[in-house]
Structure 1
Amino acid sequence: MIATVVWGTGNVGRAAIRAVEAHPALKLADVIVHNPEKVGRDAGDLAGLGHGLGIAASDDVDAVLGAGPRAVVYAASGDIRPDEALADITRAVRSGAVVVTPALYALYDQRNAPAEFREPVLDAIADGGGSLFVSGVDPGWGNDVLPLLVSGLGTTIDAIRCQEIFDYSTYDQEDSVRNLVGMGLPMDHEPLMLAPSIPTMVWGGQIRLMARALGAELDDIRETVQRRALDTTVTTRTMGDFAAGTQGAVRFEVQGIVDGEPRIVIEHVTRIHASCAPDWPTPPDGGDGAHRVIIEGRPRIEVTVEATDEGENRSAGGNATAVGRLVGAIDWLVDAEPGLYDALDVPLRPAVGRLGRKQR
């Protein structure tokens, strides 16, 4: 059994605890938290399992890493603290652990990552013998392995489009929804996530990674952004009111330009309520979330994935599938040589030993 630590217990961390506990090759060893109110609480309680796991959450990073875990799922956010996240992750890698995380956007395409992100990780690997695999939580598989897999079913490929369609009204991360994405803020306010170059910073690595896999040479990476205001005030269960006239929906694209045309596109369509921008793409059944891959070519291929978790919550379902990809890679990474890996290196693997397995 591979002793595995989950670092962080937010939206991603809750799913990570459940995924580690369900994996037959892994054993949950510790949980690291930053919130003092979570210290000492049972991991099963923090993960919403409805029963204890006998693992008390700790804020003592030195003690947890000093115990020599073989793997760490780094589930703390890197959205507004990339330097701190990089420091935490290199610390875990230097301890000799295999680390999987969605937190460092710059390392989605690690071969072309900026030196200030790549070199500290490579130094930590050389010092401690650990490994790192970064894949997105939006989810990563929807912007790398799934479109690439589906592209292999086509005869000719004109363009690949990866869509995330998401209703934030059930999302439990108010700071990101309001301040990063700008939901509920005035239309003349430019939220950080939509500022020029930021979408490319976040998703450009996945564009480059897909281009590399397809043997395509990118001319450029471009961005488009559209925003819509709420017609009426709406109330959400987790975040309260969003006023009429404020931002209620966003649609943006990160476009990989090949031969002068957008050939590899990652598109996000996000709303705070289904009533806003109803003419934009929606999930097939009118639900609150879906991930879609469209291969334009011959034949035209369209694949839509909908996942739910924590009841009928599709935002949690997206997190859970992204976490499944990361946690499912741990035993492969443990057997591989120490190194810095990306989605083209790490195979997508079946759920060996988990068919019919009940979560304790």
Structure 2
Amino acid sequence: MSIPTAVWGTGNVGRAAIRAVAANPQLRLAAVIVNDADKAGRDAGELAALDRDLGVAATTDVDAALAEVAGGALAYAAAGELRPDDAVADIRRALASGAVVVTPSVYALYDHRGAPAELREPIEAACRAGGSALFVSGIDPGWGNDLLPVLVSGLASEVEQIRCQEIFDYSTYDAEDSVRYIVGMGQPMDYDPPMVAPGVPSMVWGGQVRLIARALGVELDELRETSSRQPLEATVTTALGEFAAGTQGALRFEVQGIVDGVPRIVVEHVTRITLAAAPDWPQPPDGGDGAHRVIVEGRPRIEINVEATDEGDNRSAGGNATAANRLVNAIPWLRSAPPGLYDGLDVPLAPSAYLRTPDPAMRS
């Protein structure tokens, strides 16, 4: 019997989650929750950029939607970074109702073992109350900063450093406010982007560094952060509008896991608003607009580049889709797992259930 599944949110990750649920034969899309009243009543297929209706109308009625998936699952894709307390409350509510939950929205739970007790314990109580499980993963895009680097490290005889990179041109990223005001693109060079405010990178990505360290059996001395910015040499116009010469055109930062005084595990972002910005920084392997890269420095040196496209060959959308698919495809495993919290190393990577003649509508 298929697992009734709701998707909460229809943004970049939510659209991909709807498509993933609709495609998975082990799941049944039972509800789509939206916060925007203008989206209520619209078919999930339309909201997910499919060429067909799915027969599920979006709703703002959270109680009714969760009642549809009691004993099932919820893919929570609301913007947790903008409303973290609300996101935690939403997730606890769903867990206590009996739905397993998968989400990228609560960064502190990427490494739930290291999360503060005041955050972790009420969620564990909700899992016990509902007999449910929670899996938090997905940022950049989850598997690229936990499972993949750990697997690749097993192909080396000696490992000196593991580096996980996200290298992206954000000119096609469908979130203009985040690009301009959180990342800082197009802002004066004396603007302080919230994304790299002291402590923020470690709060968001530090859990993934700790996961890799745990898998490799090493103790971290500390986490360190580095960041740098470069201005645009010329004004550029993108799908997001104009970005003036002299304003920020590129941002690069690292979260470093220090072992014996040396950065051994590194999560690095290289972000541009145009490929012409910061030409001396790491580039995608084929001159494209984005890639996720894992580098194992050691013997042998190993480099793996992953490039995914979706929604009209958009690589930002492709990255979001892989993050959503990793989460959604974990639902059957979680539904049979004991109640509790799980991370990217706990949950096995599920083989695809989709190997069949593709539905052209799913490629929209």
Same fold (TM over 0.5): yes
Indicate the SS of the match to 2:219. coil
Post-superposition Cα deviations, 1:184-238, rounded to whole Å, max 9, x if no partner, equal 111111111110110000000000111001000101100000101111111111x
In structure 2, the partner of 1:352 is: 353
In structure 2, the partner of 1:43 is: 44
Offset of 1:357 from its aligned partner? 4.5
Post-superposition Cα deviations, 1:33-59, rounded to whole Å, max 9, x if no partner, equal 011110000000000001111110000
In structure 2, the partner of 1:214 is: 216
Tell me if the contact between 2:30 and 2:69 (Cα under 8 Å) persists in the aligned partners.
Answer: no
Tell me if the contact between 2:138 and 2:327 (Cα under 8 Å) persists in the aligned partners.
Answer: no
Offset of 1:120 from its aligned partner? 1.9
In structure 1, the partner of 2:32 is: 31
Tell me if the contact between 1:137 and 1:318 (Cα under 8 Å) persists in the aligned partners.
Answer: no
Indicate the SS of the match to 2:156. coil
Offset of 1:136 from its aligned partner? 2.1
Counterpart amino acid of 1:82? P
Alpha carbons of 1:116 and 1:242: their partners in 2 closer, same or farther (altered >3 Å)?
A: farther
Post-superposition Cα deviations, 1:292-341, rounded to whole Å, max 9, x if no partner, equal 00000001000000000001100000000011110110000011111110
TM-score normalised by structure 2 residue count = 0.97
Indicate the SS of the match to 1:199. helix
Number of positions where the alignment pairs a residue of Structure 1 with one of Structure 2: 359
Find 1:231's aligned residue among 233, 241, 251.
233
* Alpha-carbon distance between aligned partners in 1 of 2:99 and 2:355, rounded to the nearest angstrom: 24
Counterpart amino acid of 1:343? G
* Alpha-carbon distance between aligned partners in 1 of 2:314 and 2:150, rounded to the nearest angstrom: 27
> Does 2:111 align with 1:120?
no
Counterpart amino acid of 2:246? G
- Tell me, which stretches of 5 or more residues in structure 1 are unaligned? none
Within-5 A mapping of 1:100-249? 100-237=102-239, 239-249=240-250
Indicate the SS of the match to 2:344. coil
Indicate the SS of the match to 1:87. helix
Tell me if the contact between 1:139 and 1:318 (Cα under 8 Å) persists in the aligned partners.
Answer: yes
In structure 2, the partner of 1:250 is: 251
In structure 2, the partner of 1:277 is: 278
- Tell me, which stretches of 5 or more residues in structure 2 are unaligned? none
Counterpart amino acid of 1:133? F
Offset of 1:174 from its aligned partner? 1.0
* Alpha-carbon distance between aligned partners in 1 of 2:134 and 2:196, rounded to the nearest angstrom: 28
Tell me if the contact between 2:4 and 2:68 (Cα under 8 Å) persists in the aligned partners.
Answer: no
Counterpart amino acid of 1:283? P
Counterpart amino acid of 2:101? V
What fraction of aligned residue pairs are identical, expressed as a percent? 68
Indicate the SS of the match to 2:46. helix
In structure 1, the partner of 2:266 is: 265
Tell me if the contact between 2:146 and 2:211 (Cα under 8 Å) persists in the aligned partners.
Answer: yes
Offset of 1:355 from its aligned partner? 3.8
Offset of 1:77 from its aligned partner? 1.0
Tell me if the contact between 1:22 and 1:357 (Cα under 8 Å) persists in the aligned partners.
Answer: no
Tell me if the contact between 2:75 and 2:101 (Cα under 8 Å) persists in the aligned partners.
Answer: yes
Find 1:81's aligned residue among 56, 80, 83.
83
* Alpha-carbon distance between aligned partners in 2 of 1:187 and 1:12, rounded to the nearest angstrom: 30
Tell me if the contact between 1:71 and 1:330 (Cα under 8 Å) persists in the aligned partners.
Answer: yes
Indicate the SS of the match to 2:308. coil
* Alpha-carbon distance between aligned partners in 1 of 2:69 and 2:151, rounded to the nearest angstrom: 36
Counterpart amino acid of 1:73? A
